[in-house]
Amino acid sequence: MAEDKNTSQVNMKIPGMKGGPRNRGAAVEKPVNGKETFMRLMQYFAKEIPVIIALFIAVVVMVVCSVYAPKLQSQAIDYISLRKFNNLNHILIFMLVVYIIYSICTFIQTRLSAILSQRIVKHMRQDLFDKIVGMSVKYLDQHSHGDIMSRMTNDVENISNTVSQSMSSLFSGVLTIIGTVIMMVALSPQLALCSCTTVILTIFATKNLSKAMRKFYSRRQVLLGQLNGTVEEMVTGIKTVTAFDRQENVCSDFNNTSDELTKVGIKAEILGGSMGPVMNVINNTGFVIIAGAGYFAIKGYVSIGVISAFIVYAKQFGRPIDELANIWGQIQTAIAGAERVFAVLDEPSEDKSGEFTMDNSTGNIEFNHVDFSYIQGKQVLHDFNLKVKAGQKVALVGSTGSGKTTVVNLLMRFYDIDNGSITIDGVNIKDIDCENLRKNTAIVLQDTVLFADTVKNNLLYSRQDATDTEIIAAAKKANCHNMIMHLPDGYDSMLAKDGQNLSQGQRQLLSIARAFVASPKILILDEATSSVDTRTEKRIQDAMTNLMKNRTSLIIAHRLSTIQDADVIVVMDNGRVVETGNHESLLAAKGRYYELYMTQFAGKAI
């Protein structure tokens, strides 16, 4: 189906060459406001309120225990210094209970964090997959498939890791800081004020480092998408790469992107890793301040237990700041990934609306003065006009790039026309429900698409309510019933991805049988017999003759032997209709069709 389109575009998908879809995909990356992205991400959290509330309660209890434990420790030290051993036992038992509760809440928090992350990722992947499935063929053709897959896998996985590992740390960190400050102020406002002088330095360092980090983490995600696009393109086109000895070029492309990714990754990791040491320096400064406060204990302003509690609180105050600093890079990666996911979600979905259906359609098709271009300024169809009467068998022939497949793309509403109109029974196809249009149109492509499922389910793909009797009858008409029965489990045999455990001819026969199952009003055959031998082709042609009875049929063909019995043959050249007629009249006219025919059958170039 991509034949005419690819010949019309400047950027073609050629593995190992510059300017492929991965480069084009990177060019459309647009920076999104981090705050706006974060708020959109929070919409997914809103769907899991019960889990978040339970997680919040667990974190609160955990933080209360961790904040209250040093105070108990302070009291225990004071009892020891005052030799009040009777009260010491109660404090120690109470401390043990507090630490047990803390451990239990830590376990609960870990479980709930994992549940929350997986549910959020599930919703996000569902939204992204539904979006991709509902997007237009145009978007998917013009963007690297590897980059789209990277957004579905790597970017979403980064968000998952951040939610499971960082969100609870964010909750507990903030609460710990607040709780610690409250306890420090309650014990000694003067020491609390001295300890909190490091907060200003922490805020300043975090703000400036995070600003620099976000730029490199965003760029790293873009390059990772390009790298996946390169790999996906190379793997799918490995035969072409090997046949044309383009391995060095492919490796060069990969290495160039990989080198840039390495450089950006190093800078991102250096900046991310620097947060911890910077915070340690600031926190150690706080320890020095607390150590100097021992002078107050000597003077009797505070007890030794309070000083010991402040040492613990100073460490406890610095720990969440260190954690937040260390996970900041991960948070930046998640936000950068969310930006890329939301960029796809913000793309317009395919417009499938339409107030009419084809339930009572007879199949009269008409193209009226249609102009179309895949890329603006590179017109493919020029004032294209064509009438196909109900039940007619119309063949489109012409050289490669003449616009034959484009006609099918437009009829199926894979693309929208620039000017003119396309009607079925007088109704503009833009006014016909798109799903109903495609339901009543069956297409057999030159490149057969089969799914990793059973033979039966592959045949049911065109019509889910078909009975076993109808499936078997369709397979017999397509001359593939015997072939299916020779498979290990017959119609329940599993096919490999793309039907790789079958020959190309067998895959083509199943694709044709699938069209029989659909029982469509309009049938489209795009070189449907090109991958089978001459004997099999004759059997398929006989079956096709029965299938096309009382159905409007459009046939794209390079082998003119397959369309000589067509009611109308339309000869196309450079997006224009240059001749129409039946086989005999076109040969008699000795025009473009005659040239094509003589090239194939007379063995001479005209």
The pLDDT score that the predictor gives to residue 369 is: 92
The pLDDT score that the predictor gives to residue 302 is: 66
345-399 per-position pLDDT tens digit: 888 877 777 888 888 888 889 999 999 988 887 888 989 999 988 888 898 988 8
Residue 603, classified by CB atoms within 10 Å of its CB into exposed (0-12), middle (13-18) or buried (19+), is exposed
Stated length of the chain? 606
Confidence bin at 301 (pLDDT 50/70/90): low
576-601 per-position pLDDT tens digit: 889 999 888 988 888 888 888 888 76
For 380, the enclosing helix (H) or strand (E) is strand 378-388
The pLDDT score that the predictor gives to residue 533 is: 63
CB under 8 A, 24+ apart: contacts of 185-191: 187/71, 187/74, 187/302, 187/306, 187/309, 187/310, 188/296, 188/302, 188/306, 188/310, 190/296, 190/301, 191/290, 191/293, 191/296, 191/302, 191/306, 191/310
Rounded Cα gap, residues 134 and 350, in angstroms: 6
118-172 per-position pLDDT tens digit: 888 888 888 888 888 888 787 877 777 777 887 888 788 888 877 777 777 777 7
The pLDDT score that the predictor gives to residue 14 is: 30
The pLDDT score that the predictor gives to residue 401 is: 79
Prediction pTM value: 0.63
The pLDDT score that the predictor gives to residue 38 is: 81
What residue spans of 237-303 are helical by DSSP H?
238-243, 247-292, 294-299
Q: Is 245 helix (H, G, I), strand (E, B) or coil?
A: coil
Rounded Cα gap, residues 180 and 309, in angstroms: 11
In the chain, % of residues over pLDDT 90? 5
The pLDDT score that the predictor gives to residue 174 is: 79
